[in-house]
Structure 1
């Protein structure tokens, strides 16, 4: 079987969904080639057109094609219009295509497996730009009409889908599975020795959904209360509506609070941030999965996270949880963790154990099994 993999998001500045697409592609190729499968990587996909597709995930070897890796935007858009109209074949002629970039193009001759990362554009529309919300709603609607199967990154995301479309999965008979993310790095055997001034860490694009305001309020109170307050390091690119957060960071730093905004960092620097910090703060209003939590676990980093959406599912008791709308609760949790070596050790060991329950190999096996099932005779989907 020939399997197409949408890696379009990996050609831009990478956030969680792009890292998911990258790691899934690598794991599927590693697991699938010994089973006789071939792969086609698409660096331009539907309406997701990149200016520099060559920056995306690149894999080489027998049975791997990358027909759009050097295809520039204008010809890429023209080609995809012809593909979706049925006037041009999809390069590589895959049997199945796994779509990871929220886009669900018409793929004559191939079966579409659509990955649902989150549904925040419907469940929490205030946390998406109008453009993002409209595109994602349109593409999910197209996926409901076109996809041969669905993948959800968490049980929480599947529950959100079920709440939006009650009973549709059962009535349609469409195959679906949970295909969770995992750390992009191996789980360490033990946490690194923490420096006395190891910082608190927050990871994620600076945008309303990530709820930096809560952490900044909590940190201000923590800094006033702790005997030897730790610095706060914020890692993540500048997202939409981030101006007030950056003004708040500058205001607190101007008053002498040790807050470092590192901006977007590469893979190596991010891993070092996880390894050298004291604990991760993840106050998101909503997550489809919550990859930073699992990656923190894998590097021996304790976690304080919101008690909403997928975060309790991912942590399974290996993190402290606080409401995202209660900065005082976050301050209390930070002071508790900073003052208890026993709690640090407990969370570190629980996190390492939890991280080991996830792997890209397991996820790839799930996706490969689903793809293989689609090539067998199956009853038609009831749309």
Structure 2
């Protein structure tokens, strides 16, 4: 099955062409007549024959990050919809193919282990060479790179950071993305992505045409499962603090955070940085390490919730993001957010955050000072942020995928 044009009347095309200019987010609900029905004798809506799809479970072997979170949470949401007998899931048989055994709380989706042949693990060998041999029907791939051999596939490409900020990645990683993504965009039945900005980039760089791309965004409701009481993080600060995340990728803009620390110190604030960042990396930007900078290392979700709950605010100065999930997680927990003016955070956070230029230290310091000085502003940001976060639902995203699977199944029968 080659490239498909779903046409102007398609609900998928309509959603993809929408903007985030009005609330709520474009998670419209469609009636049965709004997508092509799979004929009953072939297992469509009202049919008896099974429609088979497999989820690409390569995410179980990925390091914990936003892409792996997306894959896991969409899988859990799809499982819940199948388990409750959602109308869009009628006749659908869905399983999860994984490279190794993994404990996931799934009720309706079966887990199938496709053992990796290569030891040590070679990136993409399992995805490109092994997985396609074990897929019957369609494939859902949620983590950027996916099997280019399969055309009956819906693949999520989260961003094009390897093109936009290539210096943030190693040569092999960049090569894999530059080679695979254009092939995937041409061959997959449909592409999803996580923001209008990412969709524009996919179109600009020729990865896929606009009518073939659907924006799903991310969800935020997973943060409700986090429990600060389970946290092992010791929070007995001598003075108030602001929280941020530290990663060594250049687009995350750790340099600004390190240079900001002395300005925060002058405001009587500490800067707590969570993530896999060490003093050697910090020393590239400040020697010695600022006294008010506390490196937490990698922390659990429960720790993150506890740290957010007690922080004055959360700083997110990325130069670019596909979606910016940590900012929305902070909003869900009730922590005010100061975000970068760089794409796509204004699209995602809208008026529920303060914004600062990613290169302007004084701008960031003023934003933090405003939150510190004006309790009413801080409370407004908390309330607006929580309301905004409620717009992002994994269930809504799973429903989009159910609609897309019906659409692809219908097109395959034409």
The answer to whether TM tops 0.5 is yes
Number of aligned residue pairs: 347
Deviation per CA, 1:238-260, whole angstroms, max 9, x where unpaired? 49xx943255467234xxx2211
**Whole-Å Cα distance in 2 between the matches of residues 4 and 127 of structure 1?**
32
Judge conservation of contact 1:297–1:355 (CA < 8 Å) in 2: yes
Judge conservation of contact 2:145–2:180 (CA < 8 Å) in 1: yes
**Whole-Å Cα distance in 1 between the matches of residues 225 and 352 of structure 2?**
15
Shift >4 Å, 4+ stretches = 74-84, 246-250
Of 82, 93, 98, the residue aligned with 1:32 is 82
Deviation per CA, 1:68-120, whole angstroms, max 9, x where unpaired? 3x546449978767658xxxx733x4422121222221445x61111111111
Matched, 1:177 2:214: yes
Gaps of at least 5 residues in structure 1 are: 45-52, 189-193
Of 291, 299, 316, the residue aligned with 1:282 is 316
Instruction: Give the 3-state SS of the residue equivalent to 1:363 in structure 2.
Output: helix
Cα drift, residue 123 of structure 1:
1.7
Judge conservation of contact 1:206–1:236 (CA < 8 Å) in 2: no
**Whole-Å Cα distance in 2 between the matches of residues 261 and 61 of structure 1?**
39
Tell me: CA distance 1:81–1:138, structure 2 relative to 1, closer, same or farther (3 Å). Answer: closer
**Whole-Å Cα distance in 2 between the matches of residues 79 and 358 of structure 1?**
32
1:262 is aligned to 296
Matched, 1:341 2:387: no
The RMSD of aligned alpha carbons is: 2.9
Normalised by the length of structure 2, the TM-score is 0.76
Deviation per CA, 1:354-378, whole angstroms, max 9, x where unpaired? 0011110011111111111100036
**Whole-Å Cα distance in 2 between the matches of residues 196 and 180 of structure 1?**
38
Judge conservation of contact 2:80–2:108 (CA < 8 Å) in 1: no
Matched, 1:235 2:280: no
Deviation per CA, 1:283-342, whole angstroms, max 9, x where unpaired? 001100000010000000000000111100110110001111111111111111111101
Of 181, 186, 197, the residue aligned with 1:156 is 197
Judge conservation of contact 1:39–1:65 (CA < 8 Å) in 2: no
1:191 is aligned to none
1:367 is aligned to 401
Of 165, 182, 195, the residue aligned with 1:124 is 165
Deviation per CA, 1:32-60, whole angstroms, max 9, x where unpaired? 3423432222333xxxxxxxx33x56244
**Whole-Å Cα distance in 2 between the matches of residues 127 and 76 of structure 1?**
22
1:138 is aligned to 179
**Whole-Å Cα distance in 1 between the matches of residues 285 and 342 of structure 2?**
25
Matched, 1:64 2:102: no
Judge conservation of contact 1:11–1:57 (CA < 8 Å) in 2: no
